[in-house]
Structure 1
Amino acid sequence: MDQLKMMEIIAGALGIETRQVKAAIELMEEGNTIPFIARYRKERTGELDEEQLRSIEERYQYATQLNQRKEEVIRLIDEQGKLTDELRQKIMEAVKLQEVEDLYLPYRPKRKTRASIAREKGLEPLARIMLQVEDQDEIEQSADEFVSEENEVNSREEALQGAMDILAEELSEDAEIRKWVREFTWKTGMLVSKAKDPEVRSVYEMYYEFSEPVHKMPSHRILAVNRGEREEILKVKITVDEEEIHRRLLRWFPIPAHDFLQAVAQDSYKRLIAPSIEIEVRAQMTEQAEEQAIRIFSENLRHLLLQPPVRGKMVLGVDPAYRTGCKWAVVADTGKMLEVGVIYPTPPQEKVEEAKRTVLALLDKYPIEIIAIGNGTASRETEAFIASVIKEAKRSVYYIIVNEAGASVYSASKLAKEEFPDLDAARRSAVSIARRLQDPLAELVKIDPKSVGVGQYQHDVSQKRLSESLTTVVESAVNYVGVDVNTASPALLGYVSGISASVAKNIVKRRDEVGRFQSREELKEVPRLGAKTYEQCIGFLRIHDGVNPLDQTPIHPESYRVADQLLQRLEITKEQIGSDECKEKLKRVDVEKIAAELDCGIPTLRDIIEALLRPGRDPRDELPKPLLRSDVLKLEDLHEGMHLQGTVRNVVDFGAFVDIGLKHDGLVHISKMSEKFVRNPMDIVTVGDIVDVWVINVDVERERVGLSMIPVKREES
């Protein structure tokens, strides 16, 4: 397949123009990153977004791999002297790797099989007779001619069996047959699971007598069944209508199927086709389930990373614990750690009064407005303690429960040790909890994305594929928001378009040695930050209060000429950027006319105007702020019909988990999200959303709460 044809296929699949695909691929091959292409090369790509660009990249890589495999398979078959023009054509026309492998299967080198042994014994001609002669007596008589001590064929039955083995293998290796059986199994098959030992209690009990159509099974159930099978709790198989398959296989034979061919079809399916097709279909189910799980995790992670920062607030971070006490850290509004310590308000020490004096003293010493409590072990007891203490404070103080997933991973990391060499892991964790509230993105990028706790069966999917997808999400979020080059950590800078880990460290090193950057131009002095890296990264790096006000915007320096000319035409100075007068003039610009006059693309000019309207804008600020609390809610306080507000913590295939102020999040099942049918929970909510919910059931023993987003009336007593 030539490159143009490849691009046409990709364009058709994505519903875009071939020229857009061509431009995107050319830009990628020139070494441009996807965030850069999406933001600064809109004219060339026809304004393709990041998702479209990543789809092009993925499909192009697959098509390239497919082409390489086709060439290799054609070469391997040709070396055997078995390549025909018809076979070459079929291979070249294949659009999936699976089709190529099916066509190659008869020519693939094999270990010894029953069929290959039969061929060595000279039984191939008898197999051909079986396919041509309808009279069974004649076939049996012909078989006698192949009985030979020299060929180790000792009887008529052995000869007939060998011939049938040859035909069974040929039938199983027919590409069209395999394709049909695979599709039939996918469309009509049932996945059936049973318990290996029904007496054993486990979390997989709903799958002890379970069946579901293969093509309808949702990802979370596929991954759950896979795990139960791996843990040897479940036995799993796929069942199909074998009679229908048998009828289809008989059509492969050129003559009406006599008893020998009937037996060939049965044996070929049972022994050769069914086991391999079941493996392939199970693999396809798992792959699709993994893709869905990764997609959910990625979407949740993006929304988690883009949670609005709580700016300008000094925060007291608390990492709850029992025996070792609750570690605390006072963190300034800049993210700087001011003081750390430990209190023991929880069992077994229960030094409540001493802990209370410590917290009240901190509230007197520092202008702390919010206390961030981690949601791990002892969180509920710590929350109750903090809620009682702030009632005695001299001013209004609120608290919030912060998801601490991954905080322990960060606190034990090399990065955390470099950042806080004099603190133990637990105290570092308290700092991280406070900073997560102040700037979730800046703090969460320091943690392996797999550890942030917004996934679904993340340990059951391809870890390589998961890491790639989550890294992509973090890169996308960081570049979407932009990074203050004078405050960003190396971890945050490392996700900026084009910047490697070593360049990120060099930026921070230069900042520490020389002082804050005053202009984007100064970044050219950073070691190993070459021209290409500068081009890719600079539009995503912000410099506030620098020498050029444009440096605080997402306008790329390559467009400064256009921005300057636009400002001159509107009689606006750079110092007026962001003023009401500036905004009024910008809103009246005729974009198409000015773009033509300034020799600038319309999308680029549109982006320049948007950046000038809101310089220094952080897109996260437009999202709802997190819910702050001043009193504790207990499970026993809940009753059916109770109306609450909560924060969506995780979205999964079957619903959403909502933090309503308890130790454990409540579940809104997909069926309780709307009065209308909901296909995907993400169509209704995303991580971080503030939602109204109603209690529909409370299981005190299991500490579970069922919630509904559909208003329910409280039952009259």
Structure 2
Amino acid sequence: MPTIEHLIAQELGISPAQVTAVVAFIDEGNTIPFIARYRKEATGGLDDVTLRDLDERLAYLRALEARKAEVLSAIEEQGKLTADLREKIDAATVMQRVEDLYKPFKKKRATRASKAREAGLEPLAVLMMGQATTQGDPLALAAPYVNAAAGYDTPEAALQGAQDIVAETIADDAEHVATLRTLTRRQGALAVEAADATEKTVYESYYDFAEPLSRIPNHRILAINRGEKEGKLKVRVRTDADVAVATLEKRVVRRANSVFTSALRNAVSDAYKRLVAPALERELRTELTERAQTDAIRVFAKNTESLLSQRPVRGARVIALDPGYRTGCKVAVLDEYGKLLDHGTVFPTPPRREIEQTKRTLADLVRRHQTNVIVIGNGTGSRETEEVVADFIAETDAGAHLQYTIVNEAGASVYSASKLASEEYPDLDVTTRGAMSLGRRLQDPLAELVKIPPQSIGVGQYQHDLNQAALGRALTGVVENVVNRVGVNLNTASPSLLAYVSGVSAAVAKNIVAYREEHGAFTDRRELKKVSKLGAKAFQNCAGFLRIEGGANPLDATSVHPESYPVAREVLKRAGVKPEALAHGGIPDIAQRVGDLPALAQELGAGLPTLRDIVAELEKPGRDPRDDAPPVVFSRSVRDFDDLTPGMELTGTVRNVVDFGAFVDIGVKQDGLVHISKLADRFVRHPSEVVSVGDTVTVWVTSVDKDRGKISLTMVKGKE
């Protein structure tokens, strides 16, 4: 029997030694970001994504082993555990197999079979299952088991009761169920019909629909589930019952000349239609849903990672506009560090449409605060607001230095009304906080978006239909990965951002800020040990990800972990430079200065991967990996639906990636869709192979449906 470590190694395509090392680190209380960044020698350089997959499988397989132990103990207490059954349970690799094997031994609610057993009909059922009797009449053989007091007052009733016992026995057999499960997966289909065929709904394409279980794509499963939940669709798993019953008969009916053959066949049919088929339908519907949700969560996580990894716009002095109709457009002016300079309301949208007054207000704000970017939220009223802003930029003398862009406002209202927002800005109203959030999303997307529950960011599909606990775990992992990959300024980070740092809980994050407020800025990473509830293990996990600019030790501004400071100092010494040089942009030629890294690693007693990371960090201290992301696309003029014509070439920003394509912002109110078939001139299994959220792409318009507000695009020139 392979160990858990060997099973995980096979599944992930890595060595058992790597798995064993990671498991030991996890069990010691080390976080995934810490293991990924600072334990590369032991893990063979496994990245954070692989490590999280490993951690998830480890938890599942350990839970599986625990469940096996519970089941074995329960069966053994009943005195029914055989060597063969123990072997089958021990060999099970999925929870479903364990539950199938345990099913005959579970305590059941009252059933037709349990009633028959209580009436003493089990010996007759055993006789029927044995199929050895070839002489006589079934009813005559059933006559001795008549029990009028229990409701079995005729031989026919007794025979039916025995059939009920046989049917349940067949349905409880793990091997029979496994065979029928495989058959249904292979031959079954998801069949859908309308609850009311005359009603017009968004689900009309599913009113008379069927697709094999083995081929139905995940996004269709989620759409059908939603239609069913809303009462618009009726859904079932359709399979050939005759084939299923015949398959079961071949497994059960061994002797055609038994006097009980007819009754046994009836029991087989009953077992499938009454017991197995409904259970398999529920199970396979759940399996399809879990498969679709797992894929949707994966896509959501990837999109969220791309969104959080977008390049910050440094030096942007921002006018942030949160559009609306009746209540107007909220304005927040921010300096380049995100500090609020001014706020108010303008009314460029109906019903007031104070366009000239709005332009005068914008001109005054630009002049007084030297702003260079206008940010517009993409919600209600954004189209009208964008038109006014574009006209203003074209008309104003400051237009040459002024640009605007649209930002996704998903989750801004959630943040602005949150307890966190009220704690951060108790003197500001909800709408001003929302406008500020939009502006800061441009200046530093990561620092602002971590304040919002990841489920509310809105870069997936069907997120509200997904398993919220699983979605939350996945997205929290993504945020942790990005935050720790980028690093956090210990003296400026908010509690929201600090709480995603490796080893730092929400409570400890607040304690860090409280310590900072009481004692002033941190000047040395070692001061973290004085923070309440931040113990030795937490310090080990978090220290390398928390940066101190201008502190007592220049290495504190880098991603070099304190445990590696002696090695880093020796590298600097070998290079002939002082640590203070790090404050001036690093040492670009340090790799050439220190020479042969493998030899140096051996001499210093350091791991080669760690030494390479140290040298790379000393070359360019505190480098932000987000600088490699595509730049934000700014606009100076607005496009209208009427401006779009087939064949037009445009530059846009990918806003969302889903199973069937990518939505691209091309400067009109509605994002355009690039269908998966038009993402590349080759077969694309999933859009994420080609594009990510935040990418800048060149597209061509293929069609415009003004009535439905839909724009179709292609990324392959000439492919319509």
Q: Which residue of 1 aligns with 2:324?
A: 321
Q: Which residue of 2 aligns with 1:102?
A: 100
Superposition deviation, residue 164 in structure 1: 1.0
Spell out, residue by residue over 1:556-604, the C-alpha distance to the aligned partner (whole angstroms, 9 max, x if none).
Answer: 0110100100111121222333879932241463111000011000110
Q: Which residue of 1 aligns with 2:704?
A: 698
User: Partner amino acid for 1:609?
Assistant: V
User: Partner amino acid for 1:583?
Assistant: P
Q: Which residue of 1 aligns with 2:233?
A: 234
Q: Which residue of 1 aligns with 2:428?
A: 423
The alpha-carbon distance between structure 1 residues 79 and 484, as it changes in their structure 2 partners (threshold 3 A), is same
User: Partner amino acid for 2:512?
Assistant: I
Q: Which residue of 2 aligns with 1:129?
A: 127
The question of 1:668 aligning with 2:674 is answered: yes
User: Within 5 A, what are the aligned runs for 1:358-437?
Assistant: 358-395=361-398, 396=400, 397-437=402-442
Query: Separation in 2 of the partners of 1:622 and 1:226?
Result: 39
Spell out, residue by residue over 1:281-330, the C-alpha distance to the aligned partner (whole angstroms, 9 max, x if none).
Answer: 11111111010010011000000000000001211111011111111111
Superposition deviation, residue 394 in structure 1: 2.1
Superposition deviation, residue 136 in structure 1: 7.5
The alpha-carbon distance between structure 1 residues 573 and 423, as it changes in their structure 2 partners (threshold 3 A), is same
Superposition deviation, residue 134 in structure 1: 5.6
Spell out, residue by residue over 1:636-656, the C-alpha distance to the aligned partner (whole angstroms, 9 max, x if none).
Answer: 110000000000000000000
Q: Which residue of 2 aligns with 1:604?
A: 610
User: Within 5 A, what are the aligned runs for 1:63-102?
Assistant: 63-102=61-100
Q: Any idea what SS the aligned residue of 2:252 has? A: coil
User: Partner amino acid for 1:443?
Assistant: E
Query: Separation in 2 of the partners of 1:350 and 1:447?
Result: 32
The alpha-carbon distance between structure 1 residues 347 and 90, as it changes in their structure 2 partners (threshold 3 A), is same
Superposition deviation, residue 417 in structure 1: 1.0
TM-score by length of 1: 0.97
Q: Which residue of 2 aligns with 1:180?
A: 179
Q: Any idea what SS the aligned residue of 1:7 has? A: helix
Superposition deviation, residue 529 in structure 1: 2.0
Query: Separation in 1 of the partners of 2:551 and 2:39?
Result: 26
Superposition deviation, residue 121 in structure 1: 1.7
Q: Which residue of 1 aligns with 2:692?
A: 686
Please, which runs of 5 or more residues in structure 1 have no aligned partner?
none
CA contact (8 A) 1:641 1:713 kept: no
User: Within 5 A, what are the aligned runs for 1:266-665?
Assistant: 266-395=269-398, 396=400, 397-577=402-582, 582-587=587-592, 589-665=595-671
Query: Separation in 1 of the partners of 2:302 and 2:552?
Result: 38
Query: Separation in 2 of the partners of 1:159 and 1:506?
Result: 73
Query: Separation in 2 of the partners of 1:342 and 1:359?
Result: 11
Query: Separation in 1 of the partners of 2:586 and 2:109?
Result: 80
Query: Separation in 2 of the partners of 1:349 and 1:92?
Result: 73
Q: Any idea what SS the aligned residue of 2:502 has? A: coil
Spell out, residue by residue over 1:603-660, the C-alpha distance to the aligned partner (whole angstroms, 9 max, x if none).
Answer: 1001001111111210001212110000010011100000000000000000000000
Please, which runs of 5 or more residues in structure 2 have no aligned partner?
none
User: Partner amino acid for 1:575?
Assistant: E
User: Partner amino acid for 2:480?
Assistant: E
CA contact (8 A) 2:148 2:154 kept: no
Spell out, residue by residue over 1:400-420, the C-alpha distance to the aligned partner (whole angstroms, 9 max, x if none).
Answer: 001011111111111111111
User: Partner amino acid for 2:225?
Assistant: N
Q: Which residue of 2 aligns with 1:168?
A: 167
User: Partner amino acid for 2:270?
Assistant: D
Superposition deviation, residue 482 in structure 1: 0.3
CA contact (8 A) 2:585 2:620 kept: no
CA contact (8 A) 2:554 2:583 kept: no
CA contact (8 A) 1:313 1:368 kept: yes
CA contact (8 A) 1:387 1:630 kept: yes
Q: Any idea what SS the aligned residue of 1:252 has? A: helix
CA contact (8 A) 2:699 2:715 kept: yes
CA contact (8 A) 1:133 1:139 kept: no
Superposition deviation, residue 371 in structure 1: 0.3
Spell out, residue by residue over 1:352-408, the C-alpha distance to the aligned partner (whole angstroms, 9 max, x if none).
Answer: 221111110111112211100000000000000011111222222110001011111
The alpha-carbon distance between structure 1 residues 136 and 682, as it changes in their structure 2 partners (threshold 3 A), is farther
Q: RMSD between aligned alpha carbons?
A: 1.6
> Comparing 635-644 with 242-251, which one deviates more in the overlay?
242-251
> Comparing 541-550 with 193-202, which one deviates more in the overlay?
541-550
Query: Separation in 2 of the partners of 1:192 and 1:289?
Result: 17
TM-score by length of 2: 0.96
Query: Separation in 2 of the partners of 1:449 and 1:643?
Result: 34
User: Partner amino acid for 2:633?
Assistant: L
> Comparing 91-100 with 648-657, which one deviates more in the overlay?
91-100
The alpha-carbon distance between structure 1 residues 579 and 487, as it changes in their structure 2 partners (threshold 3 A), is closer
Spell out, residue by residue over 1:484-541, the C-alpha distance to the aligned partner (whole angstroms, 9 max, x if none).
Answer: 1111111101110011112212222222233222222222232222222111111001
Superposition deviation, residue 449 in structure 1: 0.7
User: Partner amino acid for 1:631?
Assistant: S
The alpha-carbon distance between structure 1 residues 422 and 580, as it changes in their structure 2 partners (threshold 3 A), is closer
The question of 1:205 aligning with 2:208 is answered: no
The alpha-carbon distance between structure 1 residues 229 and 713, as it changes in their structure 2 partners (threshold 3 A), is closer
Q: Which residue of 1 aligns with 2:53?
A: 55
Superposition deviation, residue 702 in structure 1: 1.4
Spell out, residue by residue over 1:244-267, the C-alpha distance to the aligned partner (whole angstroms, 9 max, x if none).
Answer: 322221133363342222211111
Q: 2:265 aligned to 262, 266, 287, which one?
A: 262
Query: Separation in 2 of the partners of 1:587 and 1:462?
Result: 52
Spell out, residue by residue over 1:414-472, the C-alpha distance to the aligned partner (whole angstroms, 9 max, x if none).
Answer: 11111111111111111111100000000000011111110110111111111111111
Q: Any idea what SS the aligned residue of 2:3 has? A: helix
Q: Which residue of 2 aligns with 1:248?
A: 247
Q: Number of residues paired by the alignment?
A: 712
Identity percentage of aligned residues: 52
User: Partner amino acid for 2:52?
Assistant: R
Superposition deviation, residue 146 in structure 1: 2.1
